[in-house]
């Protein structure tokens, strides 16, 4: 079986493109060293290989179902959770006083990448729990942290995020779940939440739901939304889970992929009272939840990358073995068939996958490194870092979600009929990844966020920072051999994107918001490809500098980077122009289409 992850590329991204080994110079990471990070990553690889990859297909074939009122999951999942817990990964990035290692977020994201690549649906439980605990760490009171955070960090209790309702997914302003104040300061929660991942299972002693609800008589819209901690089992004075909190499983959703992660319809306040505790102040719920969602959006992007990457590795291994046909120039019917990697069209599909998944990995880890810079980087740069991260987040979530799907389609195509069967994992990765453009805010919502909010936020400062950073890398790579094509293509894409955005923004008052945002999808595509082009320049520049000293496999690795960068420059970056033109013209075609004409 092909490896699920390229450890060499992960090392390249962390230590050669990013300067992760320099992080121990910051006070928070002073106890660390590169050896510490490598040990953690080695542990992640062995746990992922042994306890997560071992039931990838099983979790897909035997999806969650209810037996005697309890959700039944493949038995290997318990072992996976135990191994994850024993390795200390639930709390690894937290303060030492909380039992953590104070790992940088970029290393933590690289740790999680192993589990996403090995078995994305089983990794969903810790992924949600880590995000849930991070939110509580930031916004919950000391008393709430004492009650809920410790068991979450120990991996004894798991967490969820409960936002969506049957009638309110993208439009969270319309949620109707209600919180009625009680005399003791807690709230009675009533309502129904839809699509809640990890909403019911027996993998943990308790489940901590983070629920968005409206306090009775709160104003309409997002200003009236508050956040509540709602445990599955009420917590007794001894800190242990006790009686039921009446969060009732009303049904399991049967999904296309991600099947090992239970997905639930939950009723709150059915058959008894559901008690919730308010987090922070009323009306702050969505803003607080965005803390979890922004992080989750980078995590979703990384999950998409890892699925695409695993598919690429599987199809590459297959293609190297598979012999079929002869090259057009060879007319000898007795000649041996060639490995299919000999055919330019197969190379095109492999190169396209490589350029998407390695470009996406560079982007996801770069964004994760910005999370570290935001908290531990130079004080004077943090405001700019935050704005850049805000701007990039919708791209980091959406671009890999979409382009890993294309990469996985290519992976299936490379494998021919074999790729379409359950004997290979790529059809599963393809189904799993199809969720990523939907959850945590659909692609359409990310596009609106990017163009409608992030591009203009703080007077467009985030975009200026992005342009400055891209320009600095373009200048710094000016004299390097082998990067001319990616440099030229990126410079063109940057110029086209900037001109299109400036043109559109200048017309904004006359266009009005509906027409201004009508082609937001093109803004996402345009900036997404441009930013990934930049990620390729960064990788190519490192490869160009290291190649002269490299030998054998090491040299091939760098040559592969340079060639994939060239592919992205020549085959992909020219697509930026079509989106830039459409955006700048404020094309009204979609806006003018009438429902009756469909
Ligand atoms: C497997 C799975 C797991 C999930 N896990 C969770 C979870 O753990 N917790 C949770 O709270 N939710 C979860 N969700 C819900 C998920 O976040 C929503 O499905 C998603 O936000 C979309 O909402 P919706 O399904 O209601 O689609 P809709 O909001 O109805 O959207 C349908 C289409 O209309 C478009 N659209 C809607 N509004 C607009 C608009 N204003 N402008 C432009 N286009 C628009 C969307 O982009 C989409 O293409 C999960 C969903 C799935 C499928």
The pairing of beta strand 241-244 with beta strand 233-235: antiparallel
Using a CB cutoff of 8 Å and minimum separation of 24, what contacts does 520-523 make?
520/444, 520/447, 520/448, 520/450, 520/451, 520/452, 521/443, 521/444, 521/447, 522/579, 522/580, 522/582, 522/583, 523/447, 523/450, 523/451, 523/455, 523/579, 523/583
End-to-end CA distance of the chain: 47
- The band of 286, judged by pLDDT with boundaries at 50, 70 and 90, is very high
Whether residue 429 has its Cβ less than 6 Å from ligand 1: no
Whether residue 197 has its Cβ less than 6 Å from ligand 1: yes
- The band of 296, judged by pLDDT with boundaries at 50, 70 and 90, is confident
pLDDT (average), residues 369-380: 96
3-state SS of 83-116 is: HHHHCCCCCCCCCHHHCCCCCCHHHHHHHHHHHH
Nearest residue (by CA) to ligand 1, atom 47, is 444
Average confidence score pLDDT of the chain: 97
pLDDT (average), residues 590-598: 97
Structure tokens at 342: 């000999």
Ligand 1 centroid vs 67 CA: distance in angstroms?
29
Ligand 1 atom closest to residue 162's alpha carbon, by position in its atom list: 11
Residue 293 has pLDDT above 90, yes or no: no
Whether residue 445 has its Cβ less than 6 Å from ligand 1: yes
Half-sphere exposure of 257 (CA within 13 A, CB side): 20
Residue 250 has pLDDT above 90, yes or no: yes
pLDDT in tens, 185-228: 999 999 999 999 999 999 999 999 999 999 999 999 999 999 99
Question: 3-class SS at 194?
Answer: strand
| Contact in structure between 459 and 388 (CB atoms under 8 Å) | no
Closest residue by Cα to residue 71 from 127, 116, 131, 125: 125
- The band of 333, judged by pLDDT with boundaries at 50, 70 and 90, is confident
- The band of 486, judged by pLDDT with boundaries at 50, 70 and 90, is very high
Nearest 5°: the CA angle 282, 292, 216 is: 25
Nearest 5°: the CA angle 511, 513, 519 is: 80
Give, for ligand 1, the residue of 173, 442, 443, 521 to mutate: max count of ligand atoms closer than 8 Å to Cβ.
Answer: 442
φ/ψ of residue 466, rounded to 5? -60, -50
pLDDT (average), residues 148-157: 97
423 secondary structure, DSSP code: T
- pLDDT value, residue 339: 96
pLDDT in tens, 68-123: 999 999 999 999 999 999 999 999 999 999 999 999 999 999 999 999 999 999 99
Ligand 1 atom closest to residue 444's alpha carbon, by position in its atom list: 47
Ligand 1 centroid vs 352 CA: distance in angstroms?
29
Give, for ligand 1, the residue of 124, 128, 131, 195 to mutate: max count of ligand atoms closer than 8 Å to Cβ.
Answer: 195
Whether residue 163 has its Cβ less than 6 Å from ligand 1: yes
3-state SS of 117-141 is: HHCHHHHHHHHHHHHHHHHHHHHCC
Structure tokens at 242: 């006790």
pLDDT in tens, 423-482: 999 999 999 999 999 999 999 999 999 999 999 999 999 999 999 999 999 999 999 999
pLDDT in tens, 255-275: 999 999 999 999 999 999 999
Whether residue 169 has its Cβ less than 6 Å from ligand 1: yes
Percent of the chain with pLDDT over 90: 97
| Contact in structure between 256 and 297 (CB atoms under 8 Å) | no
Positions marked active-site: 440
Whether residue 115 has its Cβ less than 6 Å from ligand 1: no
The runs of H, that is alpha helices, within 330-456 are 344-376, 382-415, 426-433, 443-449
Using a CB cutoff of 8 Å and minimum separation of 24, what contacts does 408-413 make?
408/307, 408/308, 408/311, 408/433, 410/315, 410/349, 410/350, 410/352, 410/353, 411/311, 411/312, 411/314, 411/315, 411/349, 411/353, 412/311, 412/315, 413/349
Q: Give CA torsion, residues 586, 591, 597, 598, to 10 deg.
A: 90
339 secondary structure, DSSP code: B
- Determine the Cα–Cα distance for residues 348 and 503; give it in Å rounded to an integer: 35
Residue 29 has pLDDT above 90, yes or no: yes
| Cβ count near 220 (within 10 Å) | 9
Ligand 1 atom closest to residue 199's alpha carbon, by position in its atom list: 8
User: Higher confidence at residue 356 or residue 331?
Assistant: 356
- Lowest-confidence pick of 286-290, 313-317, 531-535: 286-290
Half-sphere exposure of 177 (CA within 13 A, CB side): 35
Whether residue 389 has its Cβ less than 6 Å from ligand 1: no
Ligand 1 centroid vs 444 CA: distance in angstroms?
10
């Amino acid at each position: 079986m092909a490896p699920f992850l390229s450890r060499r590329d992960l090392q390249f991204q962390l230590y050669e493109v990013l300067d992760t080994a320099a992080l121990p110079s910051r006070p928070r990471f002073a106890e660390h060293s590169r050896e510490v990070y490598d040990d953690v990553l080695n542990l992640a690889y062995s746990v992922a290989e042994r306890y997560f990859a071992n039931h990838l297909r099983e979790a897909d074939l035997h999806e969650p179902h209810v037996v005697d009122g309890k959700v039944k999951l493949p038995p290997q999942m318990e072992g996976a959770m135990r191994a994850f817990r024993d390795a200390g990964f639930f709390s690894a990035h937290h303060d030492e006083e909380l039992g953590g290692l104070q790992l940088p977020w970029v290393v933590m994201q690289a740790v999680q990448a192993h589990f996403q690549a090995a078995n994305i649906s089983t990794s969903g439980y810790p992924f949600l729990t880590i995000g849930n605990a991070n939110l509580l760490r930031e916004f919950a009171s000391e008393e709430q942290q004492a009650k809920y955070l410790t068991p979450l960090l120990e991996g004894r209790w798991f967490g969820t995020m409960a936002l969506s309702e049957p009638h309110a997914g993208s439009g969270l302003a319309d949620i109707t779940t209600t919180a009625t104040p009680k005399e003791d300061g807690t709230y009675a929660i009533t309502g129904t939440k839809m699509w809640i991942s990890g909403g019911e299972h027996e993998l943990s002693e308790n489940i901590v739901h983070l629920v968005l609800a409206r306090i009775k008589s709160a104003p309409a819209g997002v200003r009236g939304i508050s956040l509540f901690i709602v445990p599955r089992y009420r917590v007794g004075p001894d800190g242990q889970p006790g009686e039921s909190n009446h969060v009732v499983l009303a049904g399991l959703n049967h999904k296309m992929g991600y099947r090992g992660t239970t997905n639930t319809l939950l009723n709150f306040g059915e058959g008894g009272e559901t008690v919730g505790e308010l987090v922070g102040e009323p009306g702050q719920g969505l803003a607080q939840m965005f803390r979890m969602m922004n992080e989750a959006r980078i995590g979703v992007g990384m999950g998409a990358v890892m699925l695409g990457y695993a598919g690429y590795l599987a199809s590459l291994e297959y293609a190297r073995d598979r012999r079929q046909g002869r090259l057009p120039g060879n007319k000898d019917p007795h000649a041996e068939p060639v490995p299919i990697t000999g055919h330019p069209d197969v190379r095109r599909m492999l190169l396209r996958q490589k350029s998407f998944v390695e470009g996406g990995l560079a982007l996801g880890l770069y964004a994760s490194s910005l999370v570290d810079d935001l908290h531990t980087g130079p004080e004077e740069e943090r405001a700019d870092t935050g704005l850049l991260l805000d701007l990039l987040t919708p791209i980091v979530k959406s671009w890999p979600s979409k382009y890993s799907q294309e990469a996985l389609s290519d992976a299936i195509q490379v494998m021919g009929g074999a790729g379409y069967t359950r004997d290979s994992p790529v059809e599963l990765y393809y189904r799993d990844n199809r969720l990523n453009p939907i959850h945590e805010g659909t692609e359409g919502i990310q596009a609106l966020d990017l163009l409608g909010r992030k591009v203009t936020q703080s007077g467009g400062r985030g975009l200026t920072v992005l342009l400055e950073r891209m320009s600095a890398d373009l200048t710094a790579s000016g004299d390097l051999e082998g990067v001319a094509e990616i440099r030229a293509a990126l410079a063109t894409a940057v110029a086209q994107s900037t001109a299109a955005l400036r043109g559109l923004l200048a017309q904004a008052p006359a266009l009005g918001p509906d027409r201004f945002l009508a082609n937001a999808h093109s803004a996402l595509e345009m900036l997404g490809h441009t930013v990934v082009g930049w990620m390729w320049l960064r990788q190519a520049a490192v490869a160009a500098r290291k190649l002269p000293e490299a030998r054998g496999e090491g040299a091939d690795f760098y040559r592969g980077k340079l060639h994939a960068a060239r592919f992205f420059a020549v085959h992909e970056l020219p697509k930026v122009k079509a989106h830039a033109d459409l955006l700048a013209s404020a094309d009204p075609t979609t806006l003018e289409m009438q429902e009756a004409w469909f």
